[in-house]
Structure 1
C-alpha cells in the first residue's frame, strides 16, 4: 500500500498500472466506511501476492486528484490498468464482493511477470484477449446492426489492431450518420486521417519535412494540422492533441475550427468505457481525458 499525492501520482499509479493493476482508494480520515474498507483492502493486497497494487488518496488533501477522477462520494475505488480506469465501485463492500471484483481483473497467481517464459507468453495472451474482444464485438454488431455503440467499439478495435480495410468495411453502413453523430464522426476523422497519410504524407521523411516547416514558421497551420493528422493515424493521441493545441492557441477559428473539431474527435476515441456505479452517482473520469478537456477549455475560453 502506498499513499499517493499529485507529486507521485504519475509514477505510482499511471506508470505502475502498465505493469500490474492498481486499485486507487479515495478516502478521508473522517469517513467511517473508509475505516472499514481500508484495512480489508490492505489485507487483500498482501494476500494477492503482488497481483494488484493498492494506492490510497486522501481526497481532502489531494482535491486535484479527486477532481480529475470526478469523485463525488467516498470511499470510491477505481481500478487502473494500462494507465486508464477500467472499473470501480463506491462504498464499503463486503469482502466477498471485493474478491469477486479483484478476480475479474487481476492476473492469476501463476501468470505474474518475472520469469522469462511467462514474460514471453504475455504478448500472445494480450493478442488473444484483443482478438477475443473483437470477436465479441463483431457478434454484437451482427446481432443488432442498428446498434451504433456496438459498431463504434467494433470499428475502433479493428483500427487499434491495424486492420484498416476491415474497419472501412464495417464502418461503411453508418458513414452517412457520421455528420450527425459525435462518436461515429470521431471514427470518420480517424479514418480520414489514415487515408490522408496514405495519400499525402506517408513515411517518416514526410513527418520530418512537416516538422522543418513548423520550425521555420510556427504559424504554418497547414503543416501543423497535417502533422497532427499523421500523429492521429499513428494512434499517438496526446502528441496529436498537443499539436492541435498549438494551432488553437494562435488561431481558434482557423479552417472552420478544424483543429478544435479534430481535438474533440480524439477525446471521443480515447474516452474509456464508462464505469458502472450506483444510481445517482457520477462515474469517475479518466484522468488523461479530463486533463486534456481542461486544456482545451482553457485555450478556447481564453
Structure 2
C-alpha cells in the first residue's frame, strides 16, 4: 500500500498500472465508511499476493487529484489498468463483494466458482421528447425534488432550450455555490446567455490566430461552441487554455470543462451492488485528457 500525492501520482498510479493493476482508494480522515473499507482493501492486497497494488489518496489533501477523477463521494475505489480507469465502486462494500469485483478484472481471477448472475435487461431507450415530458411532470408534481429538477434542466440544455432551462433552474440557483451539479448547470446556462448576447459580435478566431494566449477570446469561442451544443469542440478549446495556463481566471477553464462533462454524461444504467458501470466513451476520453493536462 502506498500513499499517493500529486508529486508521485504519475509514477505510482499511471506508470505502475501499465504493468500491474492499481486499485486507487479515495478516502478522508473524517469519513466513517472509509475506515471500514480501508482495512479490507489492505487485507486483500496481501491476500492477492501481488496481483494488484493498493494506492490511497486523501481526497481532502489531494483535491486536484480528486477533481481530476470527478470524485463526488467517498469512499470511491477505482481500478486502473494500462494507465486508464476500467471500473470502480463507491461505498464500503463487504469483503466478499470486493473480491468479486477484483476477480472480474485481475489476472488469474478466481471467480469460476461464483454463481452466475442473470444479465439485467436494459430498458429500451426513450426518445428525448418523452424524457423531457416525464421530467417536466416530475418537477411539476414535486417542485422540491432537486434530483428531478437537475435532470430536467440538463435535458433542456441538451435539447437546446436554454430559456426554459434558465426558468426551471431559477428555484435552485442559490445552490450553485454549494453543489457541483447546480454549478455546472449554471455555467452552461451562462454560456448560452453569453452566446445570445454576442451573436455576430467578436472575431474570436481572428484574435486567437493573432495571439494564441488570448484566453478571453478562447473562452468566448468555447462558450459559443457550448451554446451550439458542439460539446467536444468546446472542451478542445478549453483544453487549449489549460495547456497554457492551468489557473487562468481562478480555474475558470477547468471548471467550465467539468461543467460540459457533467452535461453530456448520460444516465448510468443500474448495476450490481454499488459497482460503477463503464463511462460513456466520449466522457471517459475527455476526462482522461483533462487529467493528463491538469496533472502534467
Q: TM-score range by the shorter chain?
A: 0.5 to 0.7
The answer to whether the 8 Å contact 2:158/2:263 transfers is no
Structure 2 partner of 1:101: 121
5 Å matches for 1:136-215?
Answer: 136-200=134-198, 202-203=199-200, 206=201, 209-215=203-209
5 Å matches for 1:1-302?
Answer: 67-68=85-86, 72=101, 92-94=116-118, 101=121, 104-105=123-124, 129-200=127-198, 202-203=199-200, 206=201, 209-302=203-296
Give the TM-score of the pair, scaled to structure 1. Answer: 0.58
* CA drift at 1:75: 6.9
Measured in 2, the distance between the counterparts of 1:158 and 1:218 equals 34
- The 1:291/1:70 distance shift into structure 2, 3 A limit, reads farther
The answer to whether the 8 Å contact 1:69/1:287 transfers is no
The answer to whether the 8 Å contact 1:213/1:223 transfers is yes
Superposition CA RMSD, Å: 2.9
Measured in 2, the distance between the counterparts of 1:153 and 1:142 equals 13
Deviations 1:139-180 (A, max 9, x none): 111232222221111112222223222222111111111121
Question: Relative to structure 2, which stretch is displaced further, 225-234 or 265-274?
Answer: 265-274
Structure 2 partner of 1:109: none
Higher helix proportion: 1
Deviations 1:103-136 (A, max 9, x none): x338xxxxxxxxxxxxxxxxxxx8xx32221111
- The 1:65/1:256 distance shift into structure 2, 3 A limit, reads closer
- The 1:213/1:279 distance shift into structure 2, 3 A limit, reads same
Measured in 2, the distance between the counterparts of 1:271 and 1:166 equals 20
* CA drift at 1:69: 5.9
* CA drift at 1:241: 0.7
Gaps of 5+ in 2: 1-80, 90-100, 106-114
Q: Tell me the matched-pair count.
A: 198
Measured in 2, the distance between the counterparts of 1:101 and 1:65 equals 31
* CA drift at 1:74: 7.6
- The 1:248/1:149 distance shift into structure 2, 3 A limit, reads same
The answer to whether the 8 Å contact 1:186/1:265 transfers is yes
